[in-house]
Amino acid sequence: MLSFQRINRNIRSIRRYRQILGILIKYGFGHVVEQLNIDYYLELGRRIVTLGTATKEIERLNQPQRLRLAMEELGPTFVKLGQVLSTRPDLIPQEYAAEFSKLQDKVPPEKTDSIREQIELELGQPVNELFVDFRDEPIAAASIGQVHLAQLKSGEKVVVKVLRPGISHTIETDLDILMGLAYLVENHLPEGLIIDPIAIVREFRRIVQRELDFTREAHTIDRFAANFEDDETVFIPKVHWQYSGTTTLTMDFVDGIKVSETERLKAEGYELPEIARNGADAFLRQVLEFGLFHGDPHPGNVFILPGNVICMLDYGMVGHLDDSLKYHLLDLIICVVERDTDRLISQLVYAGDISEETDRKQLKRDLSEFIDDYHEISLQNLNTGKLLTEFIEILQHHRIKFPADLILLGKALVAMEGVGRQLDPEFDMVAHLKPFIEQLIRKRLSPTNVSREAMRMGQSYLQLLKTLPGDVKEFVNRVNRNKFKIDLEHRGLEKLISDLDRSSNRLSFSLLIGAIIVGSSLVMQTEKGPLFFGFPILGLLGYTIAGLLGLWLAIAILRSGRL
């Protein structure tokens, strides 16, 4: 088990730890803090878990709502964590995922001087020399960065995305604390909401650290621009690398209409059904042709330009699908179409993580009912968003972890279908999906792909045959030399060990107190040595020490809540 010694134990970290725990208690999660035995790890005693209780207004809210409010108050790292978890309903209950999707970055804009200093530090020149015009008032402000309008010397209008000064250090401290909490959750709350908290925090650290480096987002935008270079229905804003870096990202200003403003689009003569088709085709090309797709295509990130052209903004969250995941997705669809539940479960075992506790009979029953519910529905009436949501609920119910990119794809597909049906009530995502699926099937069954797969498998088996004799020989030699070892690791016993350790310490303490009392009583009977009011001072001193130690032990037991 990892102790908190691996966490940066400076004063700022401890203060932040106490702040986090205080906010959790404020929103009614004191029982979770108590179960984590945090006072055992942080040498701060019971002060940590006695910071207050939830108010009556907060107690009237349900648990997902209280946790969302706590995340908003905890700041950017926890807001971002909630937003990431909202895309993983296979890991947390659906009601939590839905509530976390409401998380907003409620932060005031950074001071203008700080933003200008950040830009000058990154680009090496004063802002007034870089831009003809730079608007100090941001057009958007989030927890990690904010966006300003500007104009280049060439006359081009641009937007400048700037990382908040000092935010990297704040997030790094929070990530260390989250990792410590993740280890505690795994050890003390095995039945918690998150299936694998340590893996979640590690993945979250990777995502956040990528978002803190704007050059990664800039490269992603360039990849999208190259993919859609010959597509006149899609516009990708240009990155101005001369004015961009790790903490600053400058790109073309997009003067379009949000896709959610349907009335304005109609008034200005846009063809809404054509916009829906263009958007669906663009997204499906991202997924099934390029293997790189926009992970958050909600209406606020989709703009419409003249000619019914689609423009997606904010490429901080993207998903990746290699050929293996594409073919696995294809296999899942074929299993549902052919109503092959056994093969569907096999595909879930291959791509997901089915634990030994999973009831496969119940899983098969749930999947059979799921397939039967949608088998008789015509494609025109099929709601792919609802279908994916119900499928993910089955995964979550049976605690099956699934590849993050496939879950992100499901969420993005739901968002795109919602936008499409808002534009055109007759919009049919399945009809747009069908030709892409057929193309993927043809590619998979093509002689070139089949021969490539056969060659790859042949090379793998050949490598196995080469190494197998040596591995067998090494195994036999180890057995003959009595050096064959099997390492066993106990899991889930840390809390029992901790409780036994605490109980033995209390028992030893009690025996020590008893010994002091018995010794003092014997001294009192001798009536020798210095006397005080006719009683031996040594005996009185022993009684006093025993009394103080006994009082200390009683208080510790009462404060632990375990008599």
Which residue numbers are catalytic? Answer: 296
478-494 burial: b if 16+ Cβ within 10 Å, else e: eeeeeeeeeeeeeeeeb
Beta strands in 285-422 (DSSP E): 292-294, 302-305, 309-312, 318-320
Amino acid found at 296: D
**DSSP string over 455-479:** HHHHHHHHHHHHHHHHHHHHHHHHH
> CA–CA separation, 173 vs 182, rounded Å?
14
> CA–CA separation, 110 vs 112, rounded Å?
6
Contacts of residue 122, Cβ cutoff 8 Å, sequence gap at least 6: 245, 246, 247, 248
What 3-state class would DSSP assign to 188? Answer: helix
> CA–CA separation, 271 vs 309, rounded Å?
10
Q: What is the Cα Rg of the chain in Å?
A: 31
Residue 429: how many other CB atoms lie within 10 Å: 23
**Token pair in block for residue 269:** 């003569």
358-394 burial: b if 16+ Cβ within 10 Å, else e: beeeebeebbeebbeebeeeeeeeebbbebbbbbbbb
Amino acid found at 246: T
